[in-house]
Structure 1
Amino acid sequence: MPRVAGSPSCRETDQREERRIGRSLRLSGLPSGYTLGNFDFVFQPSIEKARIETLATSAYIQQSETVLIQGPPGTGKTHLAVALGIKAIEHGFSVAFYTLEDLIHAARQDVDRQPKRMKGVKYLKSSLLIIDEMGFQPLSREDAALLFRVVNYRYGRGSTIITTNKAVKDWPEILAGDEVMTTAVLDRLLHKSHVLHVNGRSYRLKNLEKMLA
């Protein structure tokens, strides 16, 4: 017998789903306030809204694909990444959000763990890992190796969204100048990927312009 909208069973199901989403959002570490609904596509015309809406279905996560969001600081890269993370949670996927600095810090703490225990680590087991702010600071060779370890483990197991202010050709600058390691990282990330280029103005400068007008 089909459920009737507004019936007690419907309300109970909706409440369970709301609790699941709320709990998943808390565990994910996603910053609040960034949704697709409040992203200004008019201000940032280099972003194809239809393409973002396709990614918002989270089909790429089922295929363990990467989303690489490139562009200058302040152009909404983090906003898009977080909004896609929220959509992933709404579709039932687990999500983990880290800045690159925080991810490397966590990976340093876990470096001596036994392989069996590593399987329970959030940044490895989540269906979607979001790595924000890649490129602001270069990594040491040891830290670049930790990033490779994370990328290599997740390859074929989960999806990753990366926001970066560096073009792919400049990634050796991030990864300790090691072109071999950079190639290995990019090979795994870009094998199945969606690359978004955000080439618009800075939202932060837009707000500053309003204040100074």
Structure 2
Amino acid sequence: MAAIFEEEAEKAAKSQMSYTAFLARLADEEVAAKTERSINAKVSKARFPAIKTLESFDFSFQPSLQPATIKELAELGFLERAENVVLVGPSGTGKTHIAIALGLRACIARKRVLFTTVHALLDQLVAATVDRSLGSRLEMLGRLDLVIADELGYMPVDAQRANLFFQFVSCRYEKGSIILTTNKAFDQWGQVFGDDVIASAILDRLLHHSHIIAINGPSYRLKDKLDRTAQAVGVTA
């Protein structure tokens, strides 16, 4: 507050601002500073692995993805309605980028967000089962406005973890949103969870109120690798 006061006082003196106008501007600056601190705290607690924005996403590289659809999601109406977003597509197509970008928009809107991989989430729930804190852990997850669960399908899920993932989805059903990224089509989820019945139960709750975004395109990571290789060859030449 002291730093803001000194800066605004200097500006007021130079512009011969009235005392009333000075106080009003000081209040606005303090509110803005508090808002910025709050947003920074939300972003920190979200535990994003990197900061990604929709502005930095190359929609032209993924023609199967409609920019208007993603921009509508960025308005965050799906959070207010406790709807889910499921991003389906091969590795490297930008699913995690979009998930983080939407999560960042939610943080800016002062929502409570958590980013985690599915593998890390299930490890935490297994540990909570062991120390008998599963109920409180699920309750905490249920209070968040948005949970981003990344990379379903990249690692096998045993019976215990399949049951725990079902409990996670159930605790948020019609209460809070999930953004899930996966490289597996829905008809392959029985293989992912090792059980068609529990896979069906998870899909039933997850997809009941959801937006399904299918990305069928080339890999950004492969594109970046090829671009760097081409640049290196050009420099060498």
TM > 0.5: yes
Do residues 137 (structure 1) and 155 (structure 2) align? yes
Letter in 2 for 1:113: S
1:14 is the counterpart of 2:32: yes
| 1:48/1:89 CA distance change after superposition, 3 Å | same
More displaced, 106-115 or 146-155? 106-115
> What letter matches 2:196 in structure 1?
E
Residue 204 of structure 2 aligns to a residue whose secondary structure is helix
Gaps of at least 5 residues in structure 2 are: 1-20, 231-237
Per the alignment, residue 171 of structure 1 pairs with 189
Structure 1 residue 125 and structure 2 residue 143: aligned? yes
Indicate the RMSD between aligned Cα atoms, in angstroms: 1.7
Alignment of 1:65-84 (within 5 A): 65-84=83-102
* 2:50 pairs with one of 28, 32, 50: 32
Larger radius of gyration: 2
Partner of residue 192, structure 1: 209
C-alpha distance in 2 between matches for 1:92 and 1:158: 15
Name 1:146's counterpart in structure 2.
164
Secondary structure of residue in 2 paired with 1:51: helix
Q: Amino acid of the residue matched to residue 30 of structure 2?
A: E
Q: What's the CA shift string for 1:163-193, capped at 9, x where partnerless?
A: 00001111111112x1110111000000011
SS of residue matched to 2:181: strand
Deviations 1:143-179 (A, max 9, x none): 1001001111111110000000001111111112x11
Aligned to 2:199: 182
SS for the counterpart of 1:42 is helix
Task: State the SS of the aligned residue for 1:139.
Answer: coil
**Are positions 1:101 and 2:119 aligned together?**
yes
The answer to which structure, 1 or 2, has the higher relative contact order (CA under 8 A, 6+ apart) is: 1
- Which residue in 2 is equivalent to 1:209? 226
- Could you say which residue in structure 2 is the equivalent of 1:87? 105
Bigger fraction of residues in helix: 2
Partner amino acid for 1:50?
A: A
Aligned partners of 2:219, 2:201: CA distance in 1, in Å? 32
Give the C-alpha shift of residue 29 in structure 1: 0.9
Q: How far apart, in 1, do the equivalents of 2:139 and 2:168 lie?
A: 13
Aligned length: 207
> Structure 1 counterpart of 2:218, which letter?
R
1:137 is paired with a residue whose SS is coil
In the aligned structure 1, how far is the partner of 2:143 from the partner of 2:158? 25
The gaps in structure 1 that reach 5 residues or longer are none
Report the Cα offset of residue 93 of structure 1.
Answer: 1.2
Question: Which residue identity does 1:89 align to in structure 2?
Answer: C
136-145 or 31-40, which deviates more: 31-40
